[in-house]
Structure 1
């Protein structure tokens, strides 16, 4: 028993220490469309390009982990160390949405080039000039970061719609990928503190369903209303990612000894075969 518990703690420690500048966190469904009598099964994963390590259900690692359907919201329940992290009954027929918020985590930069590469990759280049203006150190500094992941699961008729669930930053689907016409794209809105993020980069990871092939990666940008339209293909799985960078609040900065804070919004879903 104690060996299993130790393995769980080691797994979580690895998750907490994963460098923010190079990895996403997402919820990867075993299936994104299921029958009414089937369970919602999803892995909690950390990695790159839709490939990564799988982590266990560990309540001390997250602030929030819910499943939602229309007006219902219920905490995801699981046993300590469960893998997959999600293995639950759906709330009912329709579009069920997994909603996850991690704890605050820390990464320490000892090479400024890695920070510069990260912010450039995520189209957050203004952070570099602010780093200079504020005379933050370059040889060693810390960043606090948190993850905000959602996953869309169609149950039965899969009817329903996504909405904002009050996360500090989140991606909201403006279409239902399982019931709506996607010929003119899959529309999403990117929010920060409940307001649209205009001119925000959305990174898209695209791979064939049930395939081990590497994901194709491309980006788009939200318009003045915080909306982005994404071209999608039938029979594919998608992961969307959008990152906010800011200076942490004074109390958090002092607690974590951090000069930057990043907030990562993520969404996963699939498209039905043609």
Structure 2
């Protein structure tokens, strides 16, 4: 009975209304001492607020820890919470990486699809949907999540780099070691190519608080780079979404596929 209930709860959370929910890696601590344990939760929610969820292998494609160009083996157990755990690392910047499997949702109201694509700034897609002869209700979308998180071990020195996710956000600045007075720079990649002129959503809040998140929208330049101001003593979540048409074979097949990139980090207090 417990397994059935847990499976249902997980399905409701991870296959819930995609237009309203983010998935992110939430470290217990963004800064840790050398060889101190690293732990991070999976969270699903809105506006940088969400409940913690366990590691489950059947919903996992990649589950990794990167440091200094090396991929370090993680040995998760079913139901781990925090979902990402590692006993300790040498000095440097650590990057947690998680990719889910595909999930699906069925739209019962066309307005919800329209609200989602407006929020994520997919210009012209309501018209494209109807031009394909697709129904306004009862159609299916598949989606996949690609999340990263930056943790400073000791000094936190180092640099984020592409890790080969289908869609990913790469930090071009190290928030733990660099002067960010001119802003934080990130690059959005899709199939290893820069995503030019797309929306980047930036969520921020004071570290260790439950204050409502500040939310700002930015756009990438021709090189897929977005730069935005940051404040010391704040946690950040960066989001970018791509949406692709899919040609269904059967009536219940997805007609759209969305890819969600997410990056979390902190800017230390002065």
Please tell me the TM-score bracket, short chain as reference.
over 0.9
Q: How high is the TM-score relative to the length of structure 2?
A: 0.95
Q: Any idea what the Cα deviations from partners look like across 1:62-82, whole Å, max 9, x if unmatched?
A: 101100002211343222111
Query: SS of the counterpart of 2:254?
Result: coil
Deviates more, 1:10-19 or 1:151-160: 10-19
Structure 2 residue aligned with 1:265:
261
Matches within 5 A, 1:23-102: 23-102=21-100
Any conservation in 1 of the 2:36–2:89 contact (CA below 8 Å)? no
Q: Any idea what the Cα deviations from partners look like across 1:220-255, whole Å, max 9, x if unmatched?
A: 00001100001100000000000000013x5xx447
Cα distance between partner residues in 2 of 1:90 and 1:201: 36
Matches within 5 A, 1:229-240: 229-240=227-238
Cα distance between partner residues in 2 of 1:57 and 1:47: 17
Q: How high is the TM-score relative to the length of structure 1?
A: 0.94
2:155 to 146, 154, 157: 157
Structure 1 residue aligned with 2:15:
17
The Cα shift of 1:39 comes to: 1.1
Matches within 5 A, 1:191-270: 191-248=189-246, 250=247, 253-254=248-249, 257-270=253-266
The Cα shift of 1:135 comes to: 1.4
1:115 to 104, 113, 116: 113
Cα distance between partner residues in 2 of 1:24 and 1:75: 26
Could you tell me which runs of 5 or more consecutive residues in structure 1 were left unpaired when the two chains were aligned: none
Cα distance between partner residues in 2 of 1:126 and 1:18: 24
Cα distance between partner residues in 2 of 1:270 and 1:254: 44
What's the C-alpha RMSD, in Å, of the aligned pairs?
1.5
Q: Any idea what the Cα deviations from partners look like across 1:34-79, whole Å, max 9, x if unmatched?
A: 1013111111000000111210011111101100002211343222
Q: Any idea what the Cα deviations from partners look like across 1:198-239, whole Å, max 9, x if unmatched?
A: 011000110000001111111100001100001100000000
Deviates more, 1:132-141 or 1:195-204: 132-141
Q: How many residues align?
A: 269
1:174 is aligned to 2:172: yes
Cα distance between partner residues in 2 of 1:15 and 1:75: 28
Could you tell me which runs of 5 or more consecutive residues in structure 2 were left unpaired when the two chains were aligned: none
